[in-house]
Amino acid sequence: MTARLYLDDPDLLQFDAQLLAVRSLAGRPAAILDRTAFYPEGGGQPADRGRLGGVEVLDVQEVDGEILHLLGAELGPGRVQGEVDADRRRDHVQQHHGQHLLSAAFESTARARTVSFHLGDETCTIDLDVAADRLGPDALRAAEARANDLVFRDLPVVAREYAAAELATLPLRKEPAKGSRVVVVGEPGEIVDASPCGGTHPRRTGTVGAVAVLRATKWGSGTRVEFVCGERVVRGLVEATRRLADAAAPLRCAPAELPAAVARLAEEATARRKELERLLVALAGVEAERLAATPAGPIRAVLTSPAPGAPAFLKAVGLALAAQGRLALLGAVEDGRAHLAFVRPKGAGPHLGELVRGAAASLGGKGGGSPDAAQGSGPEVAKLEAVLEGSARAISGGA
């Protein structure tokens, strides 16, 4: 069995070991050692990376009790030197222990228990057993502040196996599911967290650096909280500052003025949209008056619509014609698609929803609607005139 050096010394990044065997994993050689400082994926924490005997370690997995070091190339027999990627290990230690502190903080501030944890490449998540509506902004900030207080106090962290009698004295957040290794935060007499865990953890909470809660979303009947710790907080702040500056530049305002500038822009866009809708209706009315001058019977026409807006324009023209008692079969081409709008006065008459469904299918697309108003579209633009003519014949009872 491989001795797990990372359990006793999370700062150990270089070690020597005896190569015991080479297996195959994912089509690559996978080394088994008599001792290792490489952490295998598990408990929500990804595996370490690094080098073994000068060969790149691509992954580390535990399979049937054996720790397999997936290698980028074959490894010669005998003793080997191992080197764990220091940056990746530090990041994982910061994220994983930060999760312990944040989970403890949610229990103490919101009585929310963590049921799962995931350490991702960019952000981390914990899933809590309380509904999202119980964790508003104030609750999230309170838990974040509590977690950071534990970080800034630089409390001692002890991760080791505990005897049954010792376990009975610890304020465990959950019962051990495998083994008796527990991560304890705080001094004797003032333990702020104790949780079973086989991951890598620092010797003091200050190593975490900082904890930042990013957002909370509904997760089943509970809540998923996304967060980052340590160096990821710094990277996130730098990236957020850059994005704010990029967003503020086109608006010619300072980043701090961005919310107000965006609000003004949204108001202006709403006003322009309403004015555009008013003009579209007016233009549709003019077009409807022109078409209404045609002889009695269904009005069939291919229109040139203001772009973009063929579907809305066709519908507005159709409704204006229906208000004058006319049945309209209208088409237009926009962005390489043929658009349809079939409208008639309410009451007895052909089912235009069914008619437009068949017409849109002939155009290679889809459509539908109610008996008196329906729309559709399709990519086969060249067939538009023929489709409108066929729909008119169907309404008139022609062949």
Task: Say how far apart CA 175 and CA 268 lie, in whole Å.
Answer: 57
Indicate the SS3 state at residue 94. helix
Q: Based on the number of CB atoms within 10 Å of its own CB, is 190 exposed (0-12), middle (13-18) or buried (19 or more)? A: exposed
Calculated CA dihedral for residues 237, 238, 240, 241, nearest 10 degrees: 110
Tokens representing 343 are 């409208």
Provide the b/e sequence for 363-379 (b: ≥16 CB within 10 Å).
bebebebebbbbbbbbe
DSSP 335: T
Q: Note down pLDDT in tens along the chain; length 399 residues.
A: 899 999 989 999 999 999 999 999 889 999 999 999 999 999 889 999 999 999 999 999 999 989 999 999 999 889 999 999 999 999 999 999 999 999 999 999 999 999 999 999 999 999 999 999 999 999 999 999 999 999 999 999 999 999 989 888 898 988 877 778 999 999 888 999 999 999 999 999 999 999 999 999 999 999 999 999 999 999 999 999 999 999 999 999 999 999 999 999 999 999 998 888 888 888 888 989 999 888 888 999 999 877 567 899 999 999 999 999 999 999 999 989 999 999 999 999 999 999 999 999 999 999 999 999 999 999 999 999 999 999 999 998 743
Task: Say how far apart CA 41 and CA 35 lie, in whole Å.
Answer: 16
Are the beta carbons of 60 and 51 closer than 8 angstroms? no
What per-residue confidence (pLDDT) applies to 310?
87
Question: Which residue ranges does the chain devote to CATH 2.40.30.130?
Answer: 3-84
Residue 286 CA to its chain's centroid (Å): 47
* Residues near 210 by beta carbon (within 8 Å), at least 6 away in sequence: 148, 151, 229, 230, 233
- Which of 198, 195, 231 has its CA nearest to residue 212? 231
Number of separate helices (H) and strands (E) present in the chain:
9, 20
Tokens representing 222 are 């509970």
Q: What is the pTM of this model?
A: 0.74
Given CATH 3.30.980.10, say whether it is the number of domain 90-238: yes
Angstrom CA distances, 198 to 68, 82, 96, 292, stand at 17, 21, 11, 79
Task: Say how far apart CA 313 and CA 286 lie, in whole Å.
Answer: 12
Are the beta carbons of 313 and 280 closer than 8 angstroms? yes
* Residues near 117 by beta carbon (within 8 Å), at least 6 away in sequence: 43, 44, 99, 103, 124, 125, 126, 127
- In single-letter form, the type of residue at position 17 comes to A
Class (C level, CATH) for 272-396: alpha beta
CATH architecture of 3-84: Beta Barrel (2.40)
Are the beta carbons of 201 and 93 closer than 8 angstroms? yes
Task: Say how far apart CA 145 and CA 63 lie, in whole Å.
Answer: 39
Question: Which residue ranges does the chain devote to CATH 3.10.310.40?
Answer: 272-396
